[in-house]
């Protein structure tokens, strides 16, 4: 068996590179900076316990959540929908809380921490304010798997609202059910319900501002619902490479763990006071085994201290 490579990149170096690449202002998240804090409820399905005994997913609870746009600072104008959006949510009552951080693409842009750092560093703008295109091209040619996420985004432009977007947890999470059986699942969070047409005025707004205005409009005019789905593994699935999907992933057997209903807006300070922490998982869902996941917990804690 090959010896796993010990990454030389540190979570702190990644946070610095995220900030340098997006020119993030002080006190803003190193990634997914522009966002909106909301609240809601979670109700489990009657099949949740077949997949996990986690009390976060098998009991009703309140939800704190945040919709966001990837890699942009709060002042940025995003003019098109070829970007990532994020949906982070915390569910479960006290002592049984879990945080799931999901994004609108099913894959991450790097397989290892070293590759992630090199990807970000290749895009840091030079003195003219733009990244060196030749450097980016050379990096992409030498690291073709780092293009999978961009390829997905290009083929799946975001719908013009957070509420109609599908979000993925990306990693393979070991889930233990009420019978004590463990298998890998992937989280997929899918919108439920009828489309609400965008308002005329929103169609001329910048994309990121539009998304946030639209969210406020939808929350006040009706509820926003998502099904929290568990995609089920098959023998031989790749569980440590976050740049690739499971074979035939779109046709996997999936079980609805429960439903999230977004019921109101929360002051952004409520979400900003702490970090959604991917390692915060109640017993019954364990940490994914890949090295990218392992680095996330430290990176989010570092980002939190720098934005306080």
Q: How far is the CB of 49 from ligand HEM (least distance, A)?
A: 26
Q: Are 265 and 271 in contact (CB under 8 A)?
A: no
Maximum C-alpha span of the chain: 59
Q: Least separation, in Å, of the C-beta of 279 and ligand HEM?
A: 12
Residue from 16, 22, 31, 226 binding ligand HEM (CB under 6 A): 31
> Can residue 30 be called a binding residue for ligand HEM (CB under 6 A)?
yes
Does residue 108 belong to the site contacting ligand HEM (CB under 6 A)? Answer: yes
Q: Which of 24, 48, 101, 185 binds ligand HEM (CB under 6 A)?
A: 101
Q: Which two tokens stand for residue 33?
A: 């900076």
292: contact with ligand HEM by CB under 6 A = yes
Among 52, 56, 88, 112, binds ligand HEM (CB under 6 A): 88
Does residue 100 bind ligand HEM (CB under 6 A)? Answer: no
Residue 67 contacts residue 35 (beta carbons within 8 Å): yes
> Which of 11, 92, 106, 174 forms a contact with ligand HEM (CB under 6 A)?
11
Task: Name which of 21 and 258 has its Cβ closer to ligand HEM.
Answer: 21
Q: Is 72 in the site for ligand HEM (CB under 6 A)?
A: no
Alpha carbon distance 303, 72 (integer Å): 15
Quick one: 95 or 308, whose CB is closer to ligand HEM?
308
Contact between 275 and ligand HEM (CB under 6 A)? yes
Kindly tell me which residue out of 40, 44, 86, 258 binds ligand HEM, with binding defined by CB under 6 A. Answer: 86
Interaction between residue 124 and ligand HEM (CB under 6 A): no
38, 170, 215, 229: residue in contact with ligand HEM (rule CB under 6 A): 170
CA–CA gap between residue 106 and residue 190 (Å, rounded):
12
Q: What are phi and psi of 88, to 5 degrees?
A: -105, 140
Told to check if 301 binds ligand HEM by CB under 6 A, we report no
Choose between 49 and 268: whose C-beta lies nearer to ligand HEM.
Answer: 268
17 binds ligand HEM (CB under 6 A): no
If one asks whether residue 103 binds ligand HEM (CB under 6 A), the answer comes out as yes
Interface ranges with ligand HEM (CB under 6 A): 11, 14-15, 18, 29-32, 35, 66, 68, 86, 88, 101, 103, 108, 116, 170-171, 242, 275-276, 292, 295-296, 299-300, 303-304, 307
């Amino acid at each position: 068996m090959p010896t796993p490579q010990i990454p030389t990149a540190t979570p702190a170096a990644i946070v610095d590179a995220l900030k340098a690449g997006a020119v993030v202002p002080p006190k803003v998240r190193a990634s997914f900076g522009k966002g909106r804090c909301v609240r809601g409820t979670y109700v489990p399905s009657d099949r949740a316990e077949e997949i996990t005994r986690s009390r976060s997913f098998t009991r009703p609870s309140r939800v704190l959540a945040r919709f966001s746009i990837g890699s942009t600072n709060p002042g940025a104008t995003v003019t098109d929908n070829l970007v990532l959006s994020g949906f982070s949510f915390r569910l479960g009552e006290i002592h049984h809380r879990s945080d799931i951080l999901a994004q609108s693409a099913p894959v991450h842009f790097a397989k290892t921490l070293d590759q992630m750092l090199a990807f970000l560093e290749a895009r840091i703008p030079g003195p003219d304010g733009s990244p060196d295109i030749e450097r980016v091209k050379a990096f992409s040619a030498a690291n073709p798997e780092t293009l999978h996420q961009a390829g997905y985004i290009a083929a799946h432009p975001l719908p013009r609202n957070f509420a109609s977007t599908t979000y993925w947890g990306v990693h393979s999470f070991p889930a233990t059910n009420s019978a004590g059986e463990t298998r890998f699942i992937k989280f997929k969070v899918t919108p439920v319900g009828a489309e609400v047409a965008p308002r005329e005025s929103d169609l001329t707004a910048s994309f990121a501002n539009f998304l946030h205005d639209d969210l406020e409009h939808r929350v006040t005019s009706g509820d926003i619902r998502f099904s929290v789905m568990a995609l089920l593994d098959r023998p031989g699935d790749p569980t440590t490479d976050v740049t690739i999907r499971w074979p035939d992933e779109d046709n996997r057997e999936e079980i609805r763990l429960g439903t999230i209903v977004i019921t109101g807006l929360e002051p952004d300070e409520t979400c900003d006071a702490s970090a959604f922490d991917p390692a915060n998982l109640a017993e019954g869902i364990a940490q994914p085994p890949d090295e990218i996941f392992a680095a996330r917990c430290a990176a989010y804690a570092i980002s939190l201290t720098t934005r306080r």
